[in-house]
Amino acid sequence: MNALLLVLALVAVIGAHAFVSRATRSATTRSALQMNTTPLVAGGKRFEAKPGSSMLAATKKLGLKVPLACKKGDCGTCTVTCGGKKIRACVGKVPDAPKLKSLQEKGLVVTVDNA
């Protein structure tokens, strides 16, 4: 009877440890998904932006200097690449969060095209 109680206690401790480890590993991914944010990365900086928010504001928070000319999106001077897609920062919006777990963890890389 004592051996059975010991085994049950050991299983409970191991199970709790495994649960905490999984929860800790996926905390970043879950927080990005629960808060519905898009992870953006540039020059070693990471910023969680709300999808649909201003791309120009997001690039400023990442420390990028985006050149502006017309401020209407016509000239293309403000074009940035975000996750492989060209976006005109002065009128563009932050894209939706990526569905791939690896991109959620690493973030979408943002670069200025006309720097």
pLDDT above 70 for 89? yes
pLDDT above 50 for 4? yes
Q: How confident is the model at residue 110 (pLDDT cuts 50, 70, 90)?
A: very high
Model confidence, pTM:
0.68
Distances (CA, A) of 109 to 18, 40, 55, 85, 94: 32, 6, 13, 10, 12
Alpha carbon distance 54, 106 (integer Å): 21
Percent of the chain with pLDDT over 70: 69
Q: Structural domain of residue 79, as residue ranges?
A: 37-115
Pick the residue with more confidence: 93 or 20? 93
| Structural domains in the chain (count) | 2
Pick the residue with more confidence: 1 or 22? 1
Same domain, 76 and 97: yes
Q: How confident is the model at residue 114 (pLDDT cuts 50, 70, 90)?
A: confident
Same domain, 23 and 72: no
Same domain, 19 and 42: no
pLDDT per residue over 15-51, tens digit each?
A: 655 555 455 445 555 544 446 899 999 999 999 999 9
